[in-house]
Chains A and B, each alone.
Chain A
Amino acid sequence: MLRYSAKQLLNMALTLFAVSFLVFALNELSPGDVARKILGPYASESQVDHLTVQMGLDRPAIVRYFEYMGKALTGDFGDSIVFRMPVADLMFDRLGNTLLLAAISFAVIVPLSVVLGVLAGMRERGWFDRTISVFSSMCASIPEFAMGVFLLGIFVVWLGWLPGTSPLRSDSGWAIWMQFVLPVLVVTFYDAGYLIAMVRSSMVEVMRQPYIRTALLKGMSFNRVVSRHALRNALITPFTVILLQLNYLVSGLVVVETLFAYPGFGRMMLEAALAKDIAVIEAGTLIAVSVTMLTQLFGDLGYMALDPRIRV
């Protein structure tokens, strides 16, 4: 397991390098004018030249790439053009907010989907299973922005119970926890819809196994069979999937964050991409890719630990 992890980590480093180069190269294809972006369209040509030289942007791309990587390794990711601050600080802050939203959503989604999924899969094709299946399938089919629009229409426009934006400040007239309700709801509907289906189908599969049938035929109570035998096996497959949700919860929240003006990582990436804020795009992509690969690694390791039959 140790060797496997080491190998995967090396793999990760290589991929990160490839990714960083790809992103940099992509932006160099048409470098735009960084100084112009900083100064705005109405700055004079000489002001722009001034800043270009000052920032060292007149040097060849490859030199700047290695300089950038060198600095990045020491934790200096440069400055953001859009947000006018060091990328490292910005990233830390935005990532923190996103992780908070992700953690809350995760804490709601996981128990909810495990419980509903198990209950549904326990008695395949029962009325509860049917209802939950259709419901979860529908939830997973409604894009976050559409769900956001529906919920906003109901709770903000119509009922006026909740705030329309979530800037995460207590002085905004709405308690912080209320600002979390709608974003968490939207994420939950979308993501739980999918997770419930996963848990359910895994549960269904386990319930069809001969040993479960045998246990039932032997006269063991249904509840006992489910809790003693089926549950553990049924949760092995979804375990990885659940872990992989972290991945979505870190970088997939662009839509929710945009809908509710939530100061998170995803919205930052959107703004950076639109403004071609290279420093932010680079650093953000590296972080997102690291998160993806780390969760994959942990998923694999956990899978191995849970299911001794699997050897990687």
Chain B
Amino acid sequence: MTEIIHDIGRPRAAPGLGLAGDAHVGLLRQVLNILTRSPLATVGASILLAWSLLALLAPWVSPYPPNRIDVALVADPYPSAAHWLGVDHLGRDILSRLIWGARTVLTVAPIAVLGAVVLGVFLGLVSGYRGGFIDAVIMRIGDTLLAFPKIILYLIIIAKFGASAFNIIAVITLSSAPIIARIVRGVTLDVKNRDYVAAARMRGESALFIMFVEILPNARGPLIVDFFLRLGYTTIAIGVLGFLGVGLPPPDPDWGGMVKEAYGMIFVWPHMTIIPALAISSLVIGANFLATGLREASLDG
């Protein structure tokens, strides 16, 4: 989990500012524009879209209930006409578990990242706009949180409070927010003394209005790129937690947990481990391709 490094490693704030340089062009059109220009982004977006559709339509496209156990099937668990991706060590259909598992990861990861964005944006704006004591306190707390290697922070907190979707979301939100706060604070410091912000202040707009309406749009570009990168790393993080045995509780399918459960049987039934590992990888690749594509395209402006 190099996530922390990825962020700190970009001392000049996130590249890709060009995306929102001019806030008047419709965001959606910009995105579509980029998608059509960057093959990488197109591939990434298609992977994400495919998984999202499967997750959304899980009750209709999943061939079996994901938790249905049929011990008799374990005798021949390999892929077959009835079970395209085979069954796992309890005779559960792997394809169905993948599809339902996509639902889990595609709910938990975006919520966690959105939570981090909301919290981080708020803290970053306040910190950058207000400055002074509030800034110092917020950044201090953020730095302390960032000083923890993430995986260790996750382990301590989740081993402490138990593994549940809520706790996983909370811990990811908490540990990612400081970095987003930094990005937003940087942008805020950059623009808060510009004319149009001063003008808004003169008009007597509230601080809240200035922060969210005048300043925030400037951070839109880096935030969007960061969102997809973070989505990828959060997917990895959820998978890692599952693999280490502190992921979402069974029986509902969790990709990382599927890898862990079957890992001991890799010598006889490799498909039970390798297929969910491929699924996680593909989702992260999708998110990262999309992020990279967006950034490159925006750099080309």
Contacts and interface: CB of A to CB of B under 8 A. Distances in A.
Asked if the two chains touch in their complex, CB atoms less than 8 Å apart, one says: yes
Interface of A: 15, 18-19, 22-23, 26-27, 29-30, 133-134, 137-138, 140-146, 149-150, 152-153, 157, 190-191, 194, 197-198, 201, 237, 240-241, 244-245, 247-248, 250-252, 254-255, 258, 266, 269-270, 273-274, 276, 281, 284-285, 288-289, 292-293, 296, 303
B282 to A, nearest CB: 9
Contacts, number: 153
A19 B278 contact: no
Interface string B136-147: 000000011011
A240 B9 contact: yes
Given A149-B273, A157-B270, A26 B156 contact: yes
Given A194-B5, A269-B152, A284-B152, 14 more contacts: A23-B156, A145-B277, A146-B278, A149-B259, A149-B266, A152-B266, A157-B267, A244-B5, A244-B9, A252-B2, A254-B152, A273-B152, A292-B146, A293-B147
A290 to B, nearest CB: 9
B278 to A, nearest CB: 7
A270 B239 contact: no
Contacts of B244: 254-255, 258, 270
29 contacts: A15-B147, A26-B157, A138-B285, A141-B284, A141-B288, A142-B285, A143-B243, A144-B240, A145-B256, A146-B280, A146-B281, A150-B277, A153-B270, A237-B11, A237-B12, A245-B5, A247-B149, A248-B4, A248-B149, A251-B151, A252-B1, A254-B152, A255-B240, A270-B155, A284-B152, A288-B149, A292-B146, A292-B148, A296-B8
B259 A145 contact: yes
Interface of B: 1-2, 4-6, 8-9, 11-12, 15, 40, 143-144, 146-149, 151-152, 155-157, 159-160, 232, 236, 239-240, 243-246, 256, 259, 263, 266-267, 270, 273-274, 277-278, 280-281, 284-285, 287-289, 292
A134 B152 contact: no
B152 A251 contact: yes
A19 B240 contact: no
Contacts of A27: 160
